[in-house]
Structure 1
Amino acid sequence: MPRDIPIGNGSLLILYDRTGLVRDLYFPSVGSENHAQGHVFRVGVWLNGVFSWIDENGWERTLDYEDDTLVARIQLINKALGIEIIMRDAVDFHENIYVREVTAGNLSSKFAELRLFFHNDFHIYGSEIGDTACYKPEEKGLLHYKGRRYFFVNALTGDGVGLSQFAVGVKEVKGLEGTWVDAADGILSGNTVAQGSVDSICAVHSKIPPGKKATVYYWMGACVDWKGVKRLNDLVVQRTPAYFIQRTADYWKLWLNRERMKLGDLPEPVGRLYARSLMILRTHINNNGAVIAACDSDILHFSRDTYCYMWPRDGALVAHALDVAGFPLPARRFFEFCGEIIGRSGYFLHKYNPDGSLASSWHPWVLEGKPHLPIQEDETGLVLWALWEHFQLYKDVEFIKPLYRRVIKSAADFMCEFIDKRTGLPLPSYDLWEEQSGVHSFTVAAVIAGLRAAGHFTSAFGEADLSDKYLKAADKMRDALTEYLYDSDAGRFLCSVSERLGVFTKEYRLDASLCAFFAFGIFPASDEKIVSTMKAMKDKLWCREGIGGMARYENDRYQSVVEPSPMIPGNPWIICTLWYAQYLIEKAKSRDELQESVFFLNWVAERALRSGTLAEQVNPFTGEPVSVSPLTWSHAAFIITVQRYLKKLGDMEKCPACGLSPVFHTAAGG
């Protein structure tokens, strides 16, 4: 089930499923140590002797954020029970505290005796082995712990602090489902301790007159020891749970700063998704700067691995999105993180864990019996490209200084060496889709962009010889790109070429990543070679049945909903559809032409969940999320596309006399 509504603070991250239940809980860093591991934290309602879990039939659900905040608002209505429940959930922006406010409205004409049940299905460190759950009588709450991970659960009702009922017990062994099954009769056993594979459930009670409402609170603190988690519980008791929800809402409104966000003539749904995308991106950035691709653990059922890693490519594009939107601080942390993980030889490997250690990979160090560098070289090039784009915006010389030798020069030197001397193209590496080794157009474009960035940096830092070296290497590679990757007979660029036993093989498959040529400034969008390539791409990759949208490439079978065909070459991808919108923006010469791109921005906005969450792919018939959700790359591509639209609009509307434009294309922030 796709994830919806991430809330977090860069250390504690929580994600819900489509029914409004917690499925993923990361601590103490985004993307590592999922203490829920996809297991559901249930919520149950007992009303005048009738019980229902909120993910059962009979509930009407609306999942959203409160405007311009990372406070979740989940509305639940059960007409048969005669109750409306509104849950306002937040992860405090500073402390590792998760707070839930539950307001229950009695829709019936009868007095309501309500019992709300909150189930806690921890798998601490991602495993159910060796956990302990116990009731702490002094604090009147429940503690789950293992090793250096402590989670404390408590509640507040009209009767004061503490749980009305509780139970802890064994789950997932000898046929035992867990303590949650104990809730159906509205009465919990009160068992105080269990160890091994355990869960817990607690309840809060309230009595509600007809037509009235009652509010209760549930919260959870996360820390590395009992002393720390007790301090968090004491803070909530002293300041009240409502205080933490309100201050978190205020913080995110301040962070987003809507008053300085100028979005020109874009439709309201596009502007709404733009703001949501900024905040969703922030939830997936670890406080050490690691940008996590996606934290949806449901993908485990597909591949037994996740997207909970830092790909330098994805991270560079996310950092660029934040930079152009006016949020340089998270971007700076990402670049500093890159300075820590880059190899001594000047390249980035496939992907990294949130702590900077090397992550799982399927790229081999030996290919066809020969040593092979298992990299995607576009990742190295794009980090340099994004860093130069950052510097052009913010001119933060002192920030760049420690990265100059460690990242910029070392990566540029590597890219200058990692070249086939016969062709002038980069040596083979894996493509951005991580599937094939060869010489790929997207990679070549990224390397050229990276070398140009290094040339500009070294020029700015007074090293003219190095600047000349890097810029000449970029120019030669651009010439080689035209020679080997443009096919005059087909009248378009190719996605890749490969060589075996001295024979070059051309890959004629249309691939959306060919957009890299104009996206990274290798060729203008108006270049005839680009125009013909993009026309062929639209003809072959646009889904001509169902909802439309751009597939990655022809015959894409990755999580495909139907067998690929000329009508539906693959599932529509958010990023690929947005790349085409960027092409229309770049080549537009009038406002009417620029407006053509708005169709694609609206298309993406319509594919988002109500909360604004964007998946990697969507079902070509229903538009429902496919694969991980949310995907940070999708949100970054949306922000970049909006900013490119606003920049182009601003350029078109500049005053001839003063050179100023009424359109400002930065959102501001920090």
Structure 2
Amino acid sequence: MRDIPVGNGSLLVTFDDKYQIRDVYFPHVGQENHTEGFPFRFGVWADGEFSWIFSDDWTRKLCYVSETLVTDVKLTNESLGIEVVCNDTVASHENIFLRRVRVSNLRDTRRETRVFLHHDFRIYENKFGDTAFYDPESLALVHYKKHRYFLINTAPHFDVFSTGRKAFRDQEGTWRDAEDGELKGGAITEGSVDSTIGIYLNLEPQETKEFFYWICAGFSHDEIVRLNNHVHEQTPEKFLNYTENYWRVWVNKNEQDFVNLSPEVINLFKRSLLIIRTQIDNDGAILAANDSDVTERATDHYSYLWTRDGAFVVNALDLAGYPFLTRNFFNLCAKIIHDDGYFLQKYNSDGTVASGWHAAWDVWAKKRLVPIQEDETALVIWALWEHYDRFREIEFVRQFYRSLIVKAAEFMCAFRDENLKLPLPSWNLWENQRGIHTFTCATVVGGLRAAANFARLFAEHERAEKYETVADEIVAAMREYLYSQELGRFLRGLQFYGDANFEIDATIDASLFGVFYFGAFSAGDELVKNTMQAVEEKLLIKTEIGGVARFEADDYMQITKDAGGNAWFICTLWLADFYIAQAQTEEDLQKAVEILEWTTMRALPSGVLAEQVNPLTGEAISVSPLTWS
């Protein structure tokens, strides 16, 4: 789990729940992780006693300064008689991580205190061939490999430092050397290396002293030295204050009518905007999550662009009035779309194709498969029309008409079952089934109608009619094949065995909200209301924690079978979308408001939203923050 991320779109720093730096991504959000998830340790020595802040004798409060991407962290160790308050940020326009550290003596005696900060870089995501050295010109520590450089410094200047070997034979690292309150030096080390610095603070009774600490990231030694000089010239305090002010202005740039929403909901809205910004690369990729802990239970992570997730996020940002962020996403999509008109499963931040498990060959039927989740293609076109419809940027969308919109729409028209008139089987949004899924069909309807709108915009009326006709045929086929008269609701989908044989999948799935959300059916249609009633009845968590599960019998990270699953923030909020869509009066909105209040209760104290919620304890489960949440 990760908390209180700070970033600027090219440098992202994340923390675990113990306030240890765990991920340092540069030069793209989500790519490359120069720590591989290994912690940067933070320790305090006072009068001969030493403690790392991850130990149980510390209490921790991890939050943000209101309306900013500056952290507000309080660490207290009663047995040590020390309190530490930290403010972390990444400069809004420079690749500099900056921290203010205030250390307080809680006792009525004079104290000799030392703070130790450790760095476990694994540059380019491996520990081999790194170098750490003390640079006497910049009076700083430097870690580097090839074209990645990191400079570490403090003000006032650190008192001691050490570079050394780590994770090699019996050498654990320089952090172990710090535990006696001393560092033995070591001006340069190559290979598998780490470094530690020490700052000495003599504290009078009840006195507080502060220092600033920063890490500059760059592509060359000259660049990080320039950034280091810039911090000294501007002073780190001014840097911190400027960044705090920048984000406060950024998050309040639009006047929002919050009507009667509570301060807690309003604060979470603003916090979500800020956290989403940390997960968006400056070149347009919107990362699903940047939490390397997931690699402990899998051999991969979530630091990828799924265009489906991205489409949901850009639509939310457009609604909130942040189109300057979403344009880069569409620019990137136009570059990475396949020549045949679809998007693959996921992509790296730089637009290259990421790891995947969607096969392109059916080993049993001996035939080619298109390795996609078709909703990822449809939703990009849907989101692009929503963007245009709000901002009317015809010159912006014009560049995408042939290369993205028509290309994707023609694929969606062709990728259909000739008999059923439904989209051909592809992977579902949860990536656990291949078939014809109601959610996917609904997104294709939304995508084709969006493409038809664009075709009319550019005076291609025959093309518009073609796309509308195909969308209407899919809606009719959904009514015929994907709605069960017997059950009185939509099915999750159809599972195929062979080319023509299929069975219905009647599982109740939260993603069925898509039948109204993308315009295939109206929220007031009885088919939709019956379906959403079934979602409400079957997927609400059966504990006092509340929330909505993904689907019936979901065993992914299951805590207990008795609860009916784990609550997912996105699934719970989809139910709120339904309440809003069918509301006729302000009173009708109350159920949606209650879900928003539930969300504020289940967020971390910082406002971070994880993927899931433990149905017994309410604790965050799985990756955090999940950008989609």
Q: Name the residue aligned to 1:156.
A: 155
Q: Name the residue aligned to 1:585.
A: 580
In the TM superposition, what is the alpha-carbon distance from 1:604 to its structure 2 partner?
Answer: 1.2
Q: Name the residue aligned to 2:23.
A: 24
Q: Distance in 2 between matches of 1:362 and 1:592?
A: 46
Please, which moves more after superposition, 164-173 or 592-601?
592-601
How many positions carry a matched residue from both structures?
A: 626
- Work out whether residues 144 and 151 of structure 1, in 8 Å CA contact, stay in contact via their aligned partners in 2: yes
1:140 matches 2:139: yes
Q: Which amino acid in the other structure matches residue 617 of structure 2?
A: T
Corresponding residue SS for 1:93: coil
Q: Name the residue aligned to 1:614.
A: 609
Write the deviation string for residues 206-261 of structure 1: whole angstroms up to 9, x where unpaired: 22221221111111101011111111111111111111111111111111116723
Q: Name the residue aligned to 2:305.
A: 310
Q: Name the residue aligned to 2:126.
A: 127
1:351 matches 2:346: yes
In the TM superposition, what is the alpha-carbon distance from 1:70 to its structure 2 partner?
Answer: 0.3
In the TM superposition, what is the alpha-carbon distance from 1:362 to its structure 2 partner?
Answer: 0.5
Q: Name the residue aligned to 2:517.
A: 519
Q: How does 1:383-402 map to 2 (within 5 A)?
A: 383-402=380-399
Q: Distance in 2 between matches of 1:463 and 1:606?
A: 50
Q: Name the residue aligned to 2:252.
A: 257
* Percent of aligned positions that are identical: 47
Identify unmatched segments of 5+ residues in structure 1.
635-670
In the TM superposition, what is the alpha-carbon distance from 1:80 to its structure 2 partner?
Answer: 2.0
1:440 matches 2:466: no
- Work out whether residues 254 and 321 of structure 2, in 8 Å CA contact, stay in contact via their aligned partners in 1: no
- Work out whether residues 73 and 85 of structure 2, in 8 Å CA contact, stay in contact via their aligned partners in 1: yes
Corresponding residue SS for 2:389: helix
Corresponding residue SS for 1:472: helix
Q: How does 1:109-508 map to 2 (within 5 A)?
A: 109-157=108-156, 162-257=157-252, 260-367=255-362, 368=364, 369-501=366-498, 502-508=500-506
Q: Distance in 2 between matches of 1:35 and 1:419?
A: 44
Corresponding residue SS for 1:632: coil
2:527 to 526, 529, 532: 529
Corresponding residue SS for 2:400: helix
CA RMSD of aligned residues (A): 1.1
- Work out whether residues 279 and 287 of structure 2, in 8 Å CA contact, stay in contact via their aligned partners in 1: yes
Q: Name the residue aligned to 1:668.
A: none
Q: Distance in 2 between matches of 1:546 and 1:42?
A: 37
Runs of 4+ displaced beyond 6 Å: none
Q: Distance in 2 between matches of 1:388 and 1:556?
A: 34
Q: Distance in 1 between matches of 2:53 and 2:333?
A: 43
Q: Name the residue aligned to 1:550.
A: 548
- Work out whether residues 172 and 178 of structure 1, in 8 Å CA contact, stay in contact via their aligned partners in 2: yes
Q: Distance in 2 between matches of 1:141 and 1:164?
A: 11
- Work out whether residues 554 and 569 of structure 1, in 8 Å CA contact, stay in contact via their aligned partners in 2: yes
Write the deviation string for residues 95-127 of structure 1: whole angstroms up to 9, x where unpaired: 101111111122211112221100001111111
Write the deviation string for residues 450-472 of structure 1: whole angstroms up to 9, x where unpaired: 00000011111111111111111
> So what's the TM-score if we normalise by structure 2?
0.98
1:77 matches 2:72: no
1:37 matches 2:32: no
Q: Distance in 1 between matches of 2:24 and 2:325?
A: 22
Write the deviation string for residues 250-283 of structure 1: whole angstroms up to 9, x where unpaired: 1111111167232111112111111000010111
Q: How does 1:96-115 map to 2 (within 5 A)?
A: 96-115=95-114
Q: How does 1:632-643 map to 2 (within 5 A)?
A: 632-634=627-629
Q: Which amino acid in the other structure matches residue 318 of structure 1?
A: V
In the TM superposition, what is the alpha-carbon distance from 1:602 to its structure 2 partner?
Answer: 1.1
Corresponding residue SS for 1:303: coil
Write the deviation string for residues 183-203 of structure 1: whole angstroms up to 9, x where unpaired: 112110011111111100001
Q: Distance in 2 between matches of 1:406 and 1:503?
A: 36
Q: Which amino acid in the other structure matches residue 76 of structure 1?
A: L
Q: Which amino acid in the other structure matches residue 328 of structure 1?
A: P
Q: Which amino acid in the other structure matches residue 57 of structure 1?
A: D
In the TM superposition, what is the alpha-carbon distance from 1:421 to its structure 2 partner?
Answer: 1.3
- Work out whether residues 448 and 471 of structure 2, in 8 Å CA contact, stay in contact via their aligned partners in 1: yes
Q: Distance in 1 between matches of 2:509 and 2:236?
A: 51
In the TM superposition, what is the alpha-carbon distance from 1:568 to its structure 2 partner?
Answer: 2.1
Identify unmatched segments of 5+ residues in structure 2.
none
Q: Distance in 1 between matches of 2:388 and 2:593?
A: 29
In the TM superposition, what is the alpha-carbon distance from 1:625 to its structure 2 partner?
Answer: 1.2
In the TM superposition, what is the alpha-carbon distance from 1:569 to its structure 2 partner?
Answer: 2.4
1:559 matches 2:528: no
Q: Which amino acid in the other structure matches residue 520 of structure 2?
A: I
Corresponding residue SS for 2:297: helix
Write the deviation string for residues 494-520 of structure 1: whole angstroms up to 9, x where unpaired: 001133343221001111110001111
In the TM superposition, what is the alpha-carbon distance from 1:593 to its structure 2 partner?
Answer: 1.7
Please, which moves more after superposition, 490-499 or 9-18?
490-499
- Work out whether residues 495 and 509 of structure 1, in 8 Å CA contact, stay in contact via their aligned partners in 2: yes
Q: Which amino acid in the other structure matches residue 88 of structure 1?
A: N
Q: Distance in 2 between matches of 1:610 and 1:134?
A: 38
In the TM superposition, what is the alpha-carbon distance from 1:345 to its structure 2 partner?
Answer: 1.1
Greater RCO (CA < 8 Å, at least 6 residues apart): 1
> So what's the TM-score if we normalise by structure 1?
0.92
Q: Which amino acid in the other structure matches residue 401 of structure 2?
A: Y
- Work out whether residues 65 and 72 of structure 1, in 8 Å CA contact, stay in contact via their aligned partners in 2: yes
In the TM superposition, what is the alpha-carbon distance from 1:51 to its structure 2 partner?
Answer: 1.1
Q: Name the residue aligned to 1:629.
A: 624
Q: Distance in 1 between matches of 2:70 and 2:257?
A: 23
In the TM superposition, what is the alpha-carbon distance from 1:523 to its structure 2 partner?
Answer: 1.2
Q: Which amino acid in the other structure matches residue 506 of structure 1?
A: I
In the TM superposition, what is the alpha-carbon distance from 1:546 to its structure 2 partner?
Answer: 4.3
Corresponding residue SS for 2:399: helix
Q: Which amino acid in the other structure matches residue 23 of structure 2?
A: D
